[in-house]
Every structure is written in structure tokens, then in C-alpha cells.
Amino acid sequence: MMKNFSGSPLHGNNNNQTHSNHIRERNGRKSGFLSVLPWRFSLRGYGFCMSALFLFCFGSLFYQLNGGPPKILLDIRQYLGSSTYLNDHGSIPPRVLPFPSQVVYNRVGKCGSRTVVILLRLLAEKHQFNLISSDIHNKTRLTKHEQVDLMKNISKIPPPFLYTRHVHFLNFSRFRIEEPVYINIIRDPINRFLSNYFFRRFGDWRGEQNHLIRTPGMKDDERYLDINVCILENYPECSNPRVFYIIPYFCGQHPQCREPGVWALERAKQNVMENYLIVGILEELEDVLLMLERLLPHYFAGVLNIYKSPEYKKLGNMTGTVRKHTPSLEALKVLYHRMRYEYDFYNFIRDQFHLMKRKIGLKSTAKPPAYAPAFLRDLALRTPQPLDEDEELDSDLEDANSWLVHP
């Protein structure tokens, strides 16, 4: 008799056992897949991920609000390495600025600075650069704290900018502040002294009462003091250190820069060679403007056209010093001796300026000035035609250049 095995208990047990084996095999495959993951998905793991994301977002917010990364992010970066996306892919190209885009004109008093400032105001509007012209005229020497404050304020001006003020040279690099490019103009030391002497007393063509506003406390006996008496009788205004005036603008803020001598002279020359793009001389002002136009076209392009225009001459002719006249030959000799360091520096600047003109290929039409006291002579000479700039007078006034003989 044939037996039916399909419903036997033994066969049923085998089926159950086989089904259980398949289930265990599937579970085993699942657990094997999860076992290769670094961590299992769980509530604890989810919390860890959210905490890390929160810390990252908080650190980024702190970075933006505080202007820099917190120390913990710096530590993490140091641990992970200094390579960044910008290192690997390059930075975003910045806005292209002209070079140089930071210029300081620490203008020397009575060296045509008002002429240049008038031109700069017109040029700033034309070329769209920031011109900051300080109205402080009587504080050229600063304390260390004042120096740092001024240099920080200058460095915060949006470039391109040109900052100008009557102030002695500031050493930005000494205080680890980015150094700007310096420019300046000087003039014959005795001519500068004479212009300042009479300007303080009688002002300029801008107004008859201009001098009273500038020196309201000056008494009449001082205002009308004969310049020969001032020089020959050794008044403070006509003696050192008052006549030691130009060199400190280039020497700097060191106390020894205000003492007439070789140290201040050599320090000033060194600063000119290392920090100044150009130092021109007022006697060749048109050449100076042409040089500035070539060296700094983004500031001075078209400056000669403006300078020679009739509209500008109406402004420039109002800034000439009035009642200026030349002292006696004896007084000039004394004054020249007191200014021997000033003339050494002036000759150095003139030679450097002429060398720069030759390198650029600029031919000068200016007459060379005198070099030594031997060129002094009697004052009964024809007064040369004055220049159209802020320190010269009309032809009916005697010009201080008459005491120099041009070889």
C-alpha cells in the first residue's frame, strides 16, 4: 500500500525547519549590512548630528559678527590643516584699484601748497578719488599717541585717496600700518622764509584783513618789525630753530629732527629716498605737475590744462603774499649761514628732481638756481618776472629771487 507522506508529521516539521532557516539567513544578511556602518542610526546618533550642526552654525555666526573666527575654530583648522577652498581654487578677483591708491602729501608751509590743494579739489571731482585736506595748520609735531591715531584714521579712508596736511613725516611701518606713497614740494629756503614772514603780518590778496584773522594777537611793533632788524639782531623768528623749517617735514617726528644738524639732514634725505615718490621744487612748478601727471595719472591727469586755464588763474592769483620785499645783503648773508643745512637739503632735492626728469626724458626750461653765498650780490637788480602761483607777486612788487645770481 502506498503511503501518503504529504500530511505526515515528519514532513511538516521539515517544512517549518526550512522556513526558520530562511528567516535566520535574511536576518543574518541585514545584520551583516548594518555591521559595516561606522555607527547605528539611533536617537543618540541623531542628537549628536544636530549638536554638531548647531555648533557649526553658531561658530559661523560668531565669525561674521566678531570680524574673525573664534579660537576654537582656529584650533580645529590647525588640527585639520591650513588648506582652504581659496587655497585650492583661488580667491575671488578684487576690485581693481590704481597703484598707488594711497597717497599722502604732507605739504610744507609756504611752498605752493595752496596752489596744489586748489588743483587737487578740481582733480578729485574729475577723477573720482577721495581727497581729504586737513585744516590743521599749526600742529606739525605729534605725540606718539597722536601719530598712531592719525595714521589709523588715514588708513581707514576708502581708496583711492589722497590725504594732505601740514605735518612732519609719519613712519607708518614703525607701527605696523601699511605705508602710503608720499609726495611733496619745497622751495628755496630764504624765499620760503620771506614769504612766511610777510604772510603772517600782511596776509595775501584774498582780503585786506586776512592777516588779522590769522594772527589776531600780534602787536603792531611786531607786525611792522623791519626784517633786517629781525635778522641782524637775532630775533627768535629769524633765528634757529625757527628758520630750520623744511628738513623736519622729511626727517619725521623724532625730537632730534627739530635740531639743526647733520643727523636731521641725513635722516631727511634717507626718508626721501625710501618713502617719497617725488619731491619737486616750486621754482619749476610746471615740471612738477607734469611729473605728477606721468607718475600718478589716476590723480593728476589733465592737471597742466587746469593750471594754465584762465579760470584757474583767477583763483591762483589771489593767494600771493603782499608787501613782500628783500632784506639787505648783510642780512641775507647772515640768514644764508643760519640756513646752511636747509640749503644742503634743497640742493639735494633739486638734483634728485632733475635726475628724475632726465630719466623720464623731460627737458626743463627753468634756470638753475645759485648754489653758494658767493652768488649773493647787491640788491639794485631788475626783479625777475613773477610766476603765476600762490607765493609770487605782481610785477610792481619786488621778488625775493633778486638776491640770487644765475650762472
Give the list of residues 6+ apart from residue 105 with CB closer than 8 angstroms, or none: 113, 116, 120, 162, 163, 164, 182, 183, 184
Active-site residue, from 127, 166, 254, 325: 166
Helix ranges (H only) for 276-405 are: 285-295, 297-300, 303-307, 310-316, 329-338, 340-360
Q: What is the DSSP letter of 387?
A: P
Long-range pairs of 225-232 with CB within 8 A, sequence gap ≥ 24: 227/194, 227/197, 227/325, 227/327, 227/331, 228/327, 228/328, 228/330, 228/331, 230/197, 231/327, 231/331, 231/334, 231/335, 232/330, 232/331, 232/334
Helix (H, G, I), strand (E, B) or coil at 398: coil
Note whether 192 and 245 are within 8 A (CB): yes
* Angle subtended at Cα 270 by Cα 269 and Cα 275, rounded to the nearest 5 degrees: 105
Rg of the chain over Cα atoms, rounded to whole angstroms, equals: 39
Q: How many CB atoms lie within 10 A of CB 273?
A: 11
The yes-or-no answer on residue 11 being catalytic is no
Q: Which residues are catalytic?
A: 166
